[in-house]
Amino acid sequence: MRVIEHPTEMQLFSNNIRQTHQSIGFVPTMGYLHQGHISLLDAARQQSDQVVLSIFVNPTQFSPGEDLSVYPKDLPKDLDIAEKAGVDIVFTPTDKDLYGDHYQTYVQLKQLPNYLCGIHRPTHFQGVATVVTKLFNMVKPHVAFFGEKDYQQLAVIRQMVQDLNFDITIIGCPIVRESDGLAMSSRNVYLSKEQRQTALILSQSLYRSQQKVTKGITDAETLINEAKKDIESLPETRIDYVRICNKDTLEDLPEVMMDGLMALAVHVGRTRLIDNRILTREYCTVKA
Ligand code: AMP
């Protein structure tokens, strides 16, 4: 496994790989790797000849007052995990490498960032779309892997790849959870023991909502209000949003007809957590 820091060296490596007709699978991350990241690396390993992992805490996707300065980091541990996961290249550019003096180009989507997290983090998806574009131009992957944990991010990337004609296949990978249901996240390390317990309400609300839909309660407002009540009953919680929306456009749905994405963002103490689940309505098939 090789560690590459400089963008030009990364491009040179990828050009050489492409000349040998090997495929490049790419997993972009902000590091502090956990099993969720490893699941993406495993998928990349299975589907490509060379696996590139990037570790970069992207400043342009954080707003002032968010956790950029304290975002958890442990490069030696990440390198160990990456090696065990069969990564070929770890790409670790610096802020200066990516956003040098006089930087002025950003990628902005018109519609998808206007929902869910985008409402509460208005510059976030511009930062994501910009850094992913830049990383794609440096790593030159054939396939790139993203987690459904960040559902809106995945939707933004898919749209951007289509709109800007990137010749890259985007693969979405399922959410990896702790055994008690908590979605894995680098930010879980911020939680105290009590907050960690409270945080279970996110996955529990999603699970309970699916149970209600199965029982025939499909009105979005009812489902959302009940989930909000459960969340607000716990200490140290502050809801950013609980929504049920179209899984492609992210527009609010009044009712779960066939299916719908239930997505939520909740602060537990100072930690902002997100989770989501596709709610599906199970139809009874009536024999003629
Ligand atoms: P991050 O380092 O948090 O920016 O995440 C890097 C990638 O890992 C993104 O595509 C995330 O969606 C994905 N990811 C993070 N947590 C999980 C998880 N629990 N399950 C699956 N993918 C995840």
Q: Are strands 169-173 and 143-147 parallel, antiparallel or unpaired?
A: parallel
- Catalytic residue status for 34: no
Q: Is 184 in the pocket of ligand 1 (CB under 6 A)?
A: yes
- Is 228 in contact with 252 (CB distance < 8 Å)? no
Mean pLDDT is lowest, of 41-45, 180-184, 241-245, 283-287, for: 283-287
Per-residue pLDDT band for 165 (boundaries 50, 70, 90) equals very high
Per-residue pLDDT band for 282 (boundaries 50, 70, 90) equals confident
Model pLDDT for residues 32-89, shown as the tens digit of each residue = 999 999 999 999 999 999 999 999 999 999 999 999 999 999 999 999 999 999 999 9
Same fold, 2-173 and 186-278: no
Would the pLDDT of 283 be above 70?
A: no
Q: Is 29 in the pocket of ligand 1 (CB under 6 A)?
A: yes
Query: Percentage of the chain with pLDDT > 90?
Result: 97
Model pLDDT for residues 121-138, shown as the tens digit of each residue = 999 999 999 999 999 999
Atom of ligand 1 nearest to the CA of 146: 10
Name the closest-CA residue to atom 10, ligand 1. 146
Quote the tokens at residue 246: 């179209």
What mean pLDDT comes out for the span 94-121? 97
Four-way CATH pick for 186-278: 3.30.1300.10, 3.40.630.30, 3.40.50.300, 2.60.40.1660: 3.30.1300.10
Q: Is the pTM of this model over 0.75?
A: yes
Model pLDDT for residues 89-105, shown as the tens digit of each residue = 999 999 999 999 999 99
Per-residue pLDDT band for 287 (boundaries 50, 70, 90) equals very low
Name the closest-CA residue to atom 13, ligand 1. 147
Q: Which fold has domain 2-173?
A: Rossmann fold (3.40.50)
Would the pLDDT of 285 be above 60?
A: no
Residues 30, 34: Cα–Cα separation, whole Å: 11
Domain ranges of the chain: 2-173, 186-278
Q: Which of 6, 37, 120, 142 is catalytic?
A: 37
Q: Is 176 in the pocket of ligand 1 (CB under 6 A)?
A: yes
DSSP 165-226: T---EEEEEPPPB-TTSPBP-GGGGG--HHHHHHTHHHHHHHHHHHHHHHHT--BHHHHHHH
Q: Is 275 in the pocket of ligand 1 (CB under 6 A)?
A: no
Nearest alpha-carbon partner for 32 in 64, 12, 55: 55
Name the closest-CA residue to atom 22, ligand 1. 147
Q: Is 124 in the pocket of ligand 1 (CB under 6 A)?
A: no
Quote the tokens at residue 227: 């989930």
- pLDDT of 258: 94
Would the pLDDT of 271 be above 70?
A: yes
Atom of ligand 1 nearest to the CA of 32: 2
Model pLDDT for residues 168-199, shown as the tens digit of each residue = 999 999 999 999 999 999 999 999 999 999 99
Mean pLDDT of the chain: 97
- pLDDT of 162: 98
Would the pLDDT of 286 be above 90?
A: no
DSSP 86-118: T-SEEE---HHHHS-TT-------SSGGGSHHH
Model pLDDT for residues 10-25, shown as the tens digit of each residue = 999 999 999 999 999 9
